[in-house]
Chain A
Amino acid sequence: MDPKLTEVSQFFDRFKAAFVRKDFDTCTKLLSELKVKLTEFRSLPPLFEDTPNAVHELTLARDIYEHAVVLSVKDEDQDAFERDFFQLKPYYTDARNRLPPSPQEYPILGLNLLRLLVQNRIAEFHTELELLSSIALENPCIKHAVELEQSFMEGAYNRVLSARQTVPHETYVYFMDLLAKTVRDEIAGCSEKAYDYLSISDARQMLLFTSDQELLKYSEEEHPEWEIKNGFVYFQKAKETTPCKEIPSLQLINQTLSYARELERIV
Chain B
Amino acid sequence: MTQDVEMKELQAPSNSITSATPSTFHHLKEIASLIETGAYAREVRRIVRAVRLTMALRRKLKSSVLGAFLNFALTPGSEVHSRLSSYLPKDDEHDMDVDTATSATQTLAKHSLPELEIYCYLLVLIFLIDQKRYNEAKACASASIARLKNLNRRTVDVLASRLYFYYSLGYELTGDLAEIRGNLLALHRIATLRHDELGQETLLNLLLRNYLHYNLYDQAEKLRSKAPRFEAHSNQQFCRYLFYLGKIRTIQLEYTDAKESLLQAARKAPVAALGFRVQCNKWAVIVRLLLGEIPERTVFMQKGMEKALRPYFELTNAVRIGDLELFRSVAEKFSNTFNSDRTHNLIVRLRHNVIRTGLRNISISYSRISLVDVAKKLRLDSANPIADAESIVAKAIRDGAIDATLDHTNGWMVSKETGDIYSTNEPQTAFDTRIAFCLNLHNEAVRALRFPPNSHKEKESAEKRRERQQQEQELAKHIAEEDDDDF
Check: B450 CB closer than 8 A to any chain A CB: no
User: Which of B14-22, B66-74, B347-355, B476-484 is the contact stretch?
Assistant: B347-355
Contacts of A202 in B (CB 8 A): 408-409
Tell me whether B218 is interfacial, beta carbon within 8 Å. yes
* Cβ of A240 under 8 Å from chain B: no
Whether B394 contacts A156 by the Cβ 8 Å rule is: no
A191 near B388: Cβ-Cβ < 8 Å: no
Which residues of chain A are near B398, meaning CB under 8 Å? Answer: 189-190, 193-194
- Residue-wise, chain A 113-127 has the 8 Å CB interface mask toward B (1 for contact) of 000000000111011
Task: Using CB atoms, name the residue of chain A closest to B438.
Answer: A262
Nearest Cβ on chain A to B428's Cβ, whole angstroms: 8
Q: Which residues of chain A come closer than 8 Å to B435, judged between CB atoms?
A: 259
Chain A residue contacts of B351, Cβ below 8 A: 150, 154
- When chains A and B are docked, how far (Å) is the Cα of A198 from the Cα of B398? 16
Instruction: Say which residue of A146, A190, A262, A265 sits within 8 Å of B391 (CB atoms).
Output: A190
User: Given contacts A126-B253, A187-B391, A193-B394, is CB(A153)–CB(B425) below 8 Å?
Assistant: no
- What is the chain A residue whose CB lies nearest that of B393? A194
Pick from B251, B391, B395: contact of A126, CB below 8 A.
B251
A244 within 8 A of B: no
Tell me, in angstroms, the Cα distance from A129 to B345 when the chains sit together: 8
Chain B residues positioned under 8 Å from A153 (CB to CB): 349, 352
Interface status of B225 (Cβ within 8 A of chain A): no
* Bound: A159/B396 CA distance, A: 17
Within 8 A of B (CB), among A105-159: 122-124, 126-127, 129-131, 134, 146, 150, 153-159
Interface residues of B in 193-247 (CB under 8 A from A): 215-218
Contact A155 B253 (CB under 8 A): no
Assess whether B442 is in contact with A266, with CB atoms less than 8 Å apart.
yes
Chain B count of residues within 8 A CB distance of the other chain: 43
Is B252 engaged at the interface, CB distance under 8 Å to the other chain? yes
Measured between C-beta atoms, what is the minimum distance from B291 to chain A in Å?
A: 14
How many residue-residue contacts, CB under 8 A, span A and B?
Answer: 96
| Least CB separation from A158: chain B residue | B387
B339 at the interface (CB under 8 A from A): yes
Structural contact, B352 and A154, CB atoms closer than 8 A: yes
Q: Assess whether A195 is interfacial by the CB under 8 Å rule.
A: yes
Q: Are B397 and A156 touching (Cβ within 8 A)?
A: no
Asked whether any CB of chain B lies closer than 8 Å to the CB of A199, the reply is yes
Task: Point out the residue from B339, B348, B408 that lies within 8 Å of A150, measured CB to CB.
Answer: B348
Contacts of A131 in B (CB 8 A): 215-216
CB-CB under 8 A from A189, the residues of chain B are: 398
The answer to whether the Cβ of B454 comes within 8 Å of any Cβ in the partner chain is no
Report the bound CA distance from A5 to B51 in whole Å. 57
Min Cβ gap A207→B in Å is 12
Tell me whether A194 and B432 are in contact (CB under 8 A): no
Bound: A134/B344 CA distance, A: 10
Judged by a CB distance under 8 angstroms, whether A248 is at the interface is yes
Does A255 sit within 8 A of B, measured CB to CB? yes
The answer to whether A130 and B392 touch (CB under 8 A), given A159-B382, A194-B397, A195-B408, is: no
Cα of A130 to Cα of B404 in the assembled complex, Å: 36
- Distance A262 CA – B432 CA, assembled complex (angstroms): 13
Nearest CB on A from B177, distance (A): 14
> A225: CB under 8 A from chain B?
no
Q: By the criterion CB–CB under 8 Å, are A130 and B405 in contact?
A: no
B383 within 8 Å of A (CB atoms): yes
Pairs A-B, 8 closest by C-beta atoms: A155-B395, A190-B394, A194-B394, A123-B252, A130-B215, A194-B397, A155-B392, A193-B398
List 17 A-B pairs, Cβ < 8 Å: A123-B253, A126-B252, A126-B253, A126-B345, A127-B218, A130-B251, A130-B345, A154-B392, A155-B395, A156-B388, A156-B391, A157-B391, A158-B384, A159-B388, A186-B395, A187-B394, A190-B398
A residues engaging B (CB < 8 A)?
122-124, 126-127, 129-131, 134, 146, 150, 153-159, 162, 186-187, 189-191, 193-196, 198-199, 202, 248, 252, 255, 259, 262, 265-266
Residue numbers of B with Cβ under 8 A of A are 215-218, 251-254, 339, 344-345, 348-349, 351-352, 355, 380, 382-384, 387-388, 391-398, 404-409, 425, 428, 432, 435, 439, 442-443
